[in-house]
Amino acid sequence: MKVRPSKRISGIKEYYFSRKLKEIARLKAEGKPIINLGIGSPDQPPHPAVREMLTREAAKVEGHGYQSYYGIPDLRKAFSEWYMDRYGVSVNPDTEVLPLIGSKEGIMHISMSFLDPGDEVLVPDPGYPTYQSATLLASGTNRLYSLTSDNGWLPDLRQLRREDLTRVRLMWVNYPHMPTGAQATPSFWEDLVAFGEANEILICHDNPYSFILNPNPKSIFSVPGAKDCCLELNSLSKSHNMAGWRIGAIVGGDQFLSEIIKFKSNMDSGMFRASQLAAVTALDLGDKWYDQLNEMYRKRKNIAYQILEELECEYEEDQAGLFAWGKVPSAYKDGYALSDELLYKANVFITPGGIFGEQGEKYIRISICLEAEQLEKSRKRIQELIETKNEVS
């Protein structure tokens, strides 16, 4: 019996980090002391009160059965209050908030709910690779739009307006931007909403880095009328150290969420009630939590910037999010070449920017999701490698 993979899956590659982590595991098994500066998975635990809530609720006899596809009312209300408190935006907890098993799930839900074969999706280059994968899995067509440092890593909406957009159904945007750490301007949000409305394109804003080294957290729904043409994904993975808990939400108008639930309700059976109640606790944390988190990340990012300086990479100092993004010097063909040199000669893995798109090929990305001591150790290894190369030359 011969079973072939579907055409849908045949065009999808295994996620880069899935493949690279296998190689790093093999190198470690061979005795190589690899320091991984690749993936943006927070290394610290959630707030103690969040963990205590999970433990307390999990110990109860009740609460272990299937839960609502819409999330428990307490969690929807908590997201709604969080949006008002943190963004100054009003969303109806009953009709405009849909909790998710992580916001990555939402990218797939949105794509499957609104794309037909032949529909096009505007996808940022560089950008999160899952946007492209989800489009292909939903039988859509990716249409990349370039982001460049010259334009502050923002879409050139003037250029897009001059193009034929009749087949475009969705547009993915992500600010603070991953991988560059760029932040959008207030005027950009207004222009973006107007662009979506004028061209009947559903603007999908992926917003997981709002509170990481970003002094002005912003929701796209701060723009009047945005609920008519926009959706926003949010997550507790980065802002609350809950990446493995898989808790996020789609926020937007009922006319969109009522369609997404048709797909979502066929894909899962709700989240563990104790996890949802713990998320309620996380969403209620005060300024002290965010301030302490950012103080830690600020120290780490300064070391990451020092690593970029050691490597003679160009970079901007006001990057938000969990990464430092730098342009590699001309001595290297691209970010892959520099990444491989550091992995095999300094036992330090740094992500090549090319995995995020053609516009990222001349860049590297450093994660700050590990202790400052490890970042400093990496810097010293790289410094020693550079000194050795200089001596040889």
Give the CATH number of the domain where residue 145 resides.
3.40.640.10
- Is the overall model pTM greater than 0.85, yes or no? yes
- End position of a domain, from candidates 267, 286, 305: 286
Tokens representing 136 are: 């292909």
**Nearest CA-CA partner of 321 in 165, 206, 197, 200:** 206
Q: Domain boundary at 263, 286, 309, which?
A: 286
Distance between CA atoms of residues 45 and 41, nearest Å: 11
- Residue 207 sits in the same domain as residue 298: no
Q: What is the mean pLDDT of residues 88-107?
A: 96
Locate 223 and state its tokens.
């723009």
What local confidence, expressed as pLDDT, does residue 1 receive? 63
User: Are 246 and 386 members of one domain?
Assistant: no
What's the pLDDT score for residue 21? 81
Host domain of residue 207: 48-286
- Residues in the chain, overall count: 393
Helices (H) and strands (E) in the chain, counts: 13, 11
Q: Write out pLDDT tens, residues 26-72.
A: 999 999 999 999 988 999 999 999 999 999 999 999 999 999 999 99
Structural domain total, the chain: 2
Q: Which of 286, 320, 340 is the last residue of a domain?
A: 286
Residues 315 and 264 in one domain: no
Q: pLDDT-derived band of residue 284, with 50, 70 and 90 as boundaries?
A: very high
* Partner residues linked to 196 by β-bridges: none
- Looking at residue 235, what is its pLDDT? 96
Cα dist from 80 to 175, 189, 275, whole Å: 20, 21, 18
Same domain? For 344 and 382 the reply is yes
Residues whose CB falls within 8 Å of the CB of residue 198, separated by 6 or more in sequence, listed in order = none
Q: Average pLDDT of the chain?
A: 95
Mean pLDDT confidence for 127-144: 95
For 180-226, write each residue's pLDDT tens digit: 999 999 899 999 999 999 999 999 999 999 999 999 999 999 999 99
122 & 263 share domain: yes
CB 109 within 8 A of CB 249: no
Our CA angle for 341, 344, 349, nearest 5°, is: 75
The dihedrals phi and psi of 60, each to the nearest 5 degrees, come to -75, 150
The beta-strand segments (E) located in 38-113 are 97-100
